[in-house]
């Protein structure tokens, strides 16, 4: 879908509220917000059942308005919505915000109306937000079009697109406003009959006032486009944070393949988010707290962090949390330590380390401590933990000091204030409130460190994604593979050969005498296995022999394999018995692929062999992808450690990264391949060989 211009939706110079009535709770709240919150455009009321409301004229229809408005806000019963949008389209209104509920989320009649609304939007080229949405707000432009907003939004630099209407304003907006955290845009996406979450992310990413984009996701109608838009957004410097709910059970996969049984929808979403540089978060407070940091700071130049706290215990806790999240805590330079130890007002003695325990008295000279730490070139980010009351008389001085420290450096400085926040006498503003009004302030150690780690991860993701090719799929090409079939070895290897995937030398024997000859030609020992579309797991039916040492043994193995297959299934089709070069040594890996119903071709990799399920170290990549992504995925498995143990620290996994990338190219271009299972792949520094292959088409 081509994204239409959304300025008329978020920044209309004029609008009409269709269904405006003081008797309607929702339309009346929207109308009153326009006046109360300072909307400076012209707004008209449309209601054929009233002559006036709020001392303003009510028009019978959009066509009767004295001008063509930018936006129609539709709050009428569902059976009238399509007619209203059609009328708006006929007179040239470019956008409609449909608040009305009762569509596909309600019943069959609603679903039919929604389909009609979708067709109307396309026919008249009118951008439709909703239906069944709570509304939107653009605080930068002063446009507030929702009934669930108890105060005027202050303009901020955080964009929010939420697939939950109530959460968008009643939770995200209200809770953030309580903490002096402010949004630039908020939109409830509703049923996304026309404009979708992806469109809103793309729109906000192009706005220079938006420093970070938050998303609350229940399901994505255009998943690959969403991933590509998010990837481009991150690569060009705007973080994308996501809470995605509705983690599904393991996706239905074909019963035969290891890959299918290891690939779950939620695991694939994790992989896709990682490839696109989207940071996936567990809960709403994580989203807003990390967004605060992104709105306030540029990412640090490195992950080197200095932690200082008025409490030794808090300092140690922060250090542990930082290391758990991959942050580095270098030691203080000798000169830095000496300067701190010589401070008369700082009750320290002996020696100091990072984390720095400045004790409670350190809060009284915090700017001096900060100046010393900022002068140490070992650090690019800082965390100051204050384990003291945030509301008593001493807290006023601490608040002054924190605000001073905030202005002393351009590096990210995270403030954590864990003391009391409920004062004995409620005087406003409290000291800690003065700080958070100007600067991000955290109350929980984990939230503070998570925010800093989020900055670091974004910088790493942005650097990784710059210059990457688009995350797109070509159209399907005609296939020469049989439909809904398990491929024989010869068909499977022909396909794998086309993509440069390394396979052992193999011959297919149709008699025991041929098996003996092929074993001699290939050179013993060899591996022998049945080639049958009816046998997925050969080991389970005794259809594999490993380490066949002679021609005579090959002849006997052939006969045993055929007998075992027919004992298992007397109607099985046997294409032949494969006589295969025996690859010895190497680390066993699994490389497989399947077609996810949402995200398309997905590659799975991890430890292979007979213990795939037992080891459970698999990870995923959404195809196509580059070699850098393949290396990144390998780091999420046990394979590098096992490989280093086998071949030493200098041995390269390049051959496996190449193979993974080739498999990604294969399933991205040949989407008729429903499942592909290469297990085991024997990995050596010079070569990664697929000694067995299972391929099934759709």
pLDDT at 1: 36
CB 263 within 8 A of CB 606: no
Instruction: Show the domains of the chain with their CATH numbers.
Output: 6-294 (3.40.50.261), 299-466 (3.40.50.261), 505-581 (3.30.1490.20), 587-697 (3.30.470.20)
**In the block, residue with structure tokens 């306030």:** 296
pLDDT at 554: 97
Residue numbers in the chain where pLDDT is lower than 70: 1-4, 247-264, 349, 426, 610-615
CB 355 within 8 A of CB 390: no
A 10 A CB-CB count for 192 gives 23
Q: What six digits make up the tokens of 104?
A: 């596909």
Q: How many whole angstroms separate alpha carbon 153 and alpha carbon 173? A: 8
Q: What is the pTM of this model?
A: 0.91
Which of 251, 262, 277, 256 lies closest to 600, judged by CA? 251
Q: What is the sign, positive or negative, of the torsion defined by CA atoms of 368, 370, 374, 379?
A: positive
Residue 476 carries which DSSP code?
P
Which of 24, 130, 18, 21 lies closest to 72, judged by CA? 18
Q: In what order do the strands lie in the sheet with 14-18?
A: 52-53, 56-59, 42-46, 14-18, 71-74, 95-98, 127-129
pLDDT at 682: 96
Phi then psi for residue 581, to 5 deg, are: -50, 135
Q: What six digits make up the tokens of 619?
A: 């990870």
Q: How many whole angstroms separate alpha carbon 293 and alpha carbon 454? A: 8
Collapsed DSSP state (helix, strand, coil) of residue 161? strand
Which of 36, 30, 6, 32 lies closest to 18, judged by CA? 30
Q: How many whole angstroms separate alpha carbon 406 and alpha carbon 675? A: 55
CB 402 within 8 A of CB 431: no
Q: How many whole angstroms separate alpha carbon 328 and alpha carbon 471? A: 32
Q: In what order do the strands lie in the sheet with 413-417?
A: 356-357, 305-309, 381-386, 413-417, 441-442
Contacts of 386 (CB under 8 A, 6+ apart): 309, 310, 363, 398, 402, 415, 416, 417, 418, 419
**Cis peptide leading into residue 380 (ω within 30°):** no
Strands 413-417 and 506-509: unpaired
pLDDT at 256: 40
pLDDT at 615: 59
Strands 693-697 and 673-684: antiparallel
Strands 158-162 and 143-146: unpaired
CB 551 within 8 A of CB 519: yes
**Cis peptide leading into residue 624 (ω within 30°):** yes
456 sits in which H/E element: helix 445-465
Tens digit of pLDDT for each residue in 204-234? 999 999 999 999 999 888 999 999 999 999 9
Q: What is the sign, positive or negative, of the torsion defined by CA atoms of 532, 534, 540, 541?
A: negative
CB 691 within 8 A of CB 589: no
Q: How many whole angstroms separate alpha carbon 223 and alpha carbon 412? A: 33
CB 213 within 8 A of CB 241: yes
* Residue 247: half-sphere exposure toward Cβ, Cα within 13 Å: 10
Tens digit of pLDDT for each residue in 584-639? 889 999 999 999 988 999 999 999 976 665 557 899 999 999 999 999 999 999 99
Q: What six digits make up the tokens of 558?
A: 């052939």
Longest dimension (CA), the chain: 103
Q: Chain centroid to CA 478: how far?
A: 33
pLDDT at 264: 45
Q: How many whole angstroms separate alpha carbon 449 and alpha carbon 316? A: 13
Contacts of 369 (CB under 8 A, 6+ apart): 308, 340, 343, 346, 356, 358, 362
- The length of the chain in residues reads 698
Q: How many whole angstroms separate alpha carbon 177 and alpha carbon 154? A: 8
Phi then psi for residue 299, to 5 deg, are: -60, 150
The 3-class SS string of 599-613 reads CEEEEEEEECHHHHH
Which of 351, 347, 410, 362 lies closest to 382, judged by CA? 410
Q: What are the residues facing 161 on neighbouring strands?
A: 187, 215
Phi then psi for residue 639, to 5 deg, are: -60, -45
CB 144 within 8 A of CB 17: no
């Amino acid at each position: 879908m081509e994204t239409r211009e959304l300025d008329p939706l978020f920044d209309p110079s004029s609008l009409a509220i269709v269904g405006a009535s003081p008797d309607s709770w929702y339309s009346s709240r929207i109308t009153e917000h326009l006046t109360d919150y300072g909307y400076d455009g012209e707004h008209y009321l449309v209601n054929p059942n009233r002559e006036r409301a709020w001392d303003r004229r009510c028009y019978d229809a959009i066509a009767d308005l004295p001008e063509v408005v930018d936006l129609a806000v539709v709050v009428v019963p569902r059976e009238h919505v399509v007619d209203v949008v059609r009328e708006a389209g006929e007179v040239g209104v470019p956008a409609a915000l449909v608040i009305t509920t009762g569509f596909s989320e309600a019943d069959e009649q609603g679903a039919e109306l929604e389909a009609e609304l979708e067709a109307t939007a396309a026919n008249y080229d009118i951008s439709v937000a909703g239906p069944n949405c709570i509304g939107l707000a653009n605080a930068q432009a002063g446009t507030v079009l929702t009934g669930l907003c108890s105060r005027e939004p202050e303009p901020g630099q955080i964009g929010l697109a939420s697939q939950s209407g109530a959460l968008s304003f009643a939770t995200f907006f209200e809770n953030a406003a309580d903490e002096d955290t402010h949004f630039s845009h908020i939109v409830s996406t509703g049923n996304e009959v026309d404009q979708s979450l992806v469109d809103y992310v793309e729109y906000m990413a192009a706005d220079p006032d938006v420093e970070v984009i938050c998303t609350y996701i229940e399901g994505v109608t255009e998943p690959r486009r969403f991933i590509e838009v998010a990837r481009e957004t991150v690569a060009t410097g705007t973080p994308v944070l996501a809470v995605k709910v509705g983690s599904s059970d393991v996706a239905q996969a074909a019963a035969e393949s290891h890959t299918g049984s290891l690939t779950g929808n939620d695991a694939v979403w994790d992989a896709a988010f990682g490839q696109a540089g989207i940071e996936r978060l567990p809960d709403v407070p994580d989203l807003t707290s990390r967004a605060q940091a992104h709105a306030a700071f540029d990412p640090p130049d490195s992950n080197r962090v200095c932690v200082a706290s008025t409490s030794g215990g808090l300092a140690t806790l922060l250090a542990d949390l930082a290391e758990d999240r991959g942050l580095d805590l270098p030691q203080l330079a000798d000169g830095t330590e000496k300067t701190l130890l010589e401070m008369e007002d700082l009750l320290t003695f002996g020696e100091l380390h990072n984390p720095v325990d400045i004790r409670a008295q350190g809060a009284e000279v915090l700017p001096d401590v900060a100046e010393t730490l900022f002068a140490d070139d070992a650090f690019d980010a800082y965390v100051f933990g204050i384990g003291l009351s945030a509301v008593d008389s001493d807290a006023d001085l601490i608040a002054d000091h924190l605000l001073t420290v905030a202005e002393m450096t351009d590096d990210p400085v995270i403030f954590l204030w864990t003391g009391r926040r409920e004062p004995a006498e409620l005087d406003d503003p409290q000291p800690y409130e003065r700080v958070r009004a100007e600067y991000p302030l955290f109350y929980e150690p984990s939230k503070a460190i998570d925010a800093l780690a989020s900055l670091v991860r974004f910088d790493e993701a942005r650097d990784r994604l710059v210059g990457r090719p688009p995350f797109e799929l070509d159209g399907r090409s005609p296939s020469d593979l049989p439909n809904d079939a398990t491929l024989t070895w010869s068909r499977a290897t022909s396909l794998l050969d086309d993509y440069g995937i390394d396979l052992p030398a193999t011959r297919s024997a149709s008699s025991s005498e041929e098996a003996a000859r092929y074993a001699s030609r290939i050179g013993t020992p060899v591996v022998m296995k049945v080639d049958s579309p009816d046998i997925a797991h050969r080991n389970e039916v005794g259809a594999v022999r490993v380490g066949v040492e002679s021609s005579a043994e090959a002849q006997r193995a052939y006969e045993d394999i055929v007998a075992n297959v027919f004992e298992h299934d007397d109607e099985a089709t046997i294409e032949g018995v494969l006589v295969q070069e025996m690859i010895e040594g190497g680390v066993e890996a699994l490389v497989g692929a399947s077609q996810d119903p949402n995200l398309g071709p997905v590659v799975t990799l991890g430890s292979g062999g007979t213990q795939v399920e037992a080891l459970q170290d698999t990870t995923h990549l959404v195809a196509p992808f580059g070699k850098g992504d393949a290396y990144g995925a390998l780091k999420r498995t046990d394979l590098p450690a096992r490989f280093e143990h086998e071949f030493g620290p200098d041995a390269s996994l390049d051959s496996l990264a190449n193979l993974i990338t080739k498999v990604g190219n294969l399933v991205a271009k040949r989407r008729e391949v429903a499942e592909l299972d290469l297990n085991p792949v024997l990995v050596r520094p010079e070569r990664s060989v697929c000694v067995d292959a299972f391929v099934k088409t759709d």
